[in-house]
């Protein structure tokens, strides 16, 4: 669509206010004669309303900057539309454009009737001719992971498959147990705690591009060489497929010229979960909150009320259930789904007691590690690879030479003690993320390691 606007075959560009921060959009609009900005949902300019959006406040600055860079004598016209603004909100909108662009907006009001619109009843016809499968398995015991994974292993699955759980911890355990059963499983993860730019693989790619201040365009030769280097270097990374997808999507978005500013904006605005692509031979595991906007042919849900104080609300439950296209199977304990009635629903009461898994895993986050201690282990971290296996004790992770890689935080040590009381003891770990990090108000940057830590059930009892 950008190319159509650029070559003149399209004369209307429909974008969100957030997109105006992109250098690609700015360059595109600088190359065309912009005859008018038309802004919908203009009530979002007002901080008095619940729909206030910060990026609406940037629109005036963008238009002013665009006019200055184009050396325009006449102001680019602006039209604003809203159906929900009260008088004080309309005053806010007018004051905003008067202050930012010295524009006096003419206010045109109409009544709320829409005589030109007619309602017509049109029956909603299903795309599929037959109903899908809906099965609810109600458990009495606290451990749902074992029966859920057993059910996935025994179910005939065609198409894509997603597994949704209440919590990150539940999702992580499901993924690990599926892999132990010999199934290909991936956890849909996010990088909420760190910028994608700080991930070791992305930082290495950026360094190979040598993006100095003098460079505005990345040449094809430099791009291809940097891509070859990073893919060869990190072929054993657990993030390798995401890295491939990230590179491919940037290339597809910028097939002709790769501007440095576009690359920087692309990395800054991207998250790990943006680059998951689904295949039939892999089971994707996620929390319910991360499943929004995704669809799978088969969806398994695990709702363990013992692992979620508030449990999921009705809206989240609806969103999770509607991720399924062909088959929906829910494993839960409690009674909050007892009232569900629908055609073809199969309900199974499972009163069996399932023992907890023999092995548990935890993905460490920033709050699970002693961050300042990494200043002492930079030499050890430099020698690590993603294939490195780490030793674990109650306080730390060590390399094969018994040199400290990291120390656990006080909070995680409390988690370790809680697991030990349940009969699980830390046994090993593997490197999952290596991230560049620095303390606030400090310039020195160091590398930190966020591994997966594995616990095994003590065979001899406590």
pLDDT at 123: 74
Residues of the chain with CATH 3.40.50.300: 1-101, 133-184+282-350
| CATH of segment(s) 1-101 | 3.40.50.300
Architecture of the domain spanning 359-457: 2-Layer Sandwich (3.30)
Q: List, in sequence order, every residue forming a beta bridge with 327; answer none if it has no partner.
A: 133, 298
Distance separating alpha carbons of residues 12 and 24, to the nearest angstrom: 16
**pTM, full prediction:** 0.68
- Considering only the top CATH level, what class is 133-184+282-350? alpha beta
What's the first-to-final CA gap in the chain, in angstroms?
64
Q: Summarize pLDDT for 51-75 with one digit per residue, the tens.
A: 667 788 899 999 999 999 988 888 8
- Is the pLDDT confidence value at 387 over 80? yes
Average pLDDT over residues 81-110: 89
Residues of the chain with CATH 3.30.70: 359-457
- Tokens standing for 155? 């179910």
Which of 283, 450, 453, 447 has its CA nearest to residue 374?
447
Decide if 141 contacts 333 (C-beta within 8 A).
Answer: yes
Q: Summarize pLDDT for 25-49 with one digit per residue, the tens.
A: 888 888 888 999 999 989 888 876 5
What is the CA 184 to chain-centroid distance, rounded?
21
Average pLDDT over residues 287-300: 86
pLDDT at 311: 54
- Sequence-ordered list of residues with C-beta below 8 angstroms from that of 60, at least 6 positions apart, any chain: 96, 97, 99, 100, 101
**Please, what is the average pLDDT of the chain?**
87
pLDDT at 308: 53
Average pLDDT over residues 82-102: 88
Residue 114's pLDDT band (boundaries 50, 70, 90)?
low
Distance separating alpha carbons of residues 188 and 309, to the nearest angstrom: 23
pLDDT at 292: 75
Average pLDDT over residues 101-116: 81
pLDDT above 90 as % of the chain: 48
- Is the pLDDT confidence value at 310 over 60? no
23-30 and 59-69 are packed helices; what angle lies between their axes, rounded to 10 degrees?
40
User: Which comes out higher in pLDDT, residue 288 or 231?
Assistant: 231
Residue 113's pLDDT band (boundaries 50, 70, 90)?
low
């Amino acid at each position: 669509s950008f190319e159509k606007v650029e070559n003149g075959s399209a004369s209307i560009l429909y974008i969100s206010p957030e997109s105006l921060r992109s250098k690609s959009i700015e360059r595109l609009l600088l190359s065309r004669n912009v005859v008018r900005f038309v802004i919908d949902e203009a009530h979002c300019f007002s901080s008095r309303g619940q729909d206030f959006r910060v990026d609406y406040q940037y629109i005036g600055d963008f238009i002013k900057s665009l006019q200055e860079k184009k050396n325009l004598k006449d102001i680019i016209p602006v039209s604003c539309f809203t159906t929900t603004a009260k008088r004080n909100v309309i005053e806010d909108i007018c004051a905003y454009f008067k202050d930012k662009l010295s524009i006096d907006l003419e206010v045109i009001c109409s009544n709320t009737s829409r005589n030109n619109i007619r309602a017509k009843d049109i029956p909603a016809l299903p795309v599929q001719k037959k109903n899908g499968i809906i099965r609810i398995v109600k458990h009495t015991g606290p451990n749902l992971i074992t029966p859920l994974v057993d059910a996935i292993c025994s179910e005939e699955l065609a198409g894509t498959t997603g597994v949704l759980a209440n919590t990150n911890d539940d999702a992580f355990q499901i993924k690990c147990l599926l892999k132990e059963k010999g199934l290909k499983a991936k956890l849909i993860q996010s990088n909420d705690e760190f910028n994608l730019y700080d991930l070791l693989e992305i930082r290495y790619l950026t360094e190979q591009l040598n993006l100095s201040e003098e460079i505005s365009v990345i040449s094809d030769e430099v791009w291809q060489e940097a891509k070859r280097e990073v893919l060869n270097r990190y072929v054993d990374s657990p993030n390798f497929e995401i890295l491939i997808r990230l590179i491919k999507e940037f290339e597809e978005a910028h097939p002709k010229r790769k501007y440095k500013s576009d690359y920087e904006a692309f990395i800054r605005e991207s998250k790990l979960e943006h680059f998951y692509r689904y295949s039939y031979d892999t089971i994707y595991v996620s929390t319910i909150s991360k499943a929004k906007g995704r669809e799978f042919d088969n969806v398994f849900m695990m709702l363990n009320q013992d692992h979620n104080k508030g449990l999921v609300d009705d809206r989240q439950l609806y969103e999770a259930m509607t991720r399924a296209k062909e088959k929906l199977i829910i494993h839960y304990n409690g009674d909050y789904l007892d009232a569900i009635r629908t055609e073809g629903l199969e309900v199974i009461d499972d009163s069996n007691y399932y023992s907890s898994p023999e092995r548990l895993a935890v993905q460490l986050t920033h709050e699970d590690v002693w961050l300042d201690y990494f200043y002492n282990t930079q030499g050890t971290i430099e020698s690590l690879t993603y294939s490195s296996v780490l030793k674990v004790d109650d306080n730390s992770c060590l390399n094969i030479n018994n040199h400290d890689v990291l120390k656990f935080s006080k909070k995680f040590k409390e988690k370790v003690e809680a697991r030990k009381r349940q009969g699980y003891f830390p046994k090993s770990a593997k490197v999952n993320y290596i991230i560049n990090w620095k303390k606030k108000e400090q310039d020195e940057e160091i590398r930190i390691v966020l591994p997966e830590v594995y616990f095994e059930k003590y065979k001899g009892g406590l």
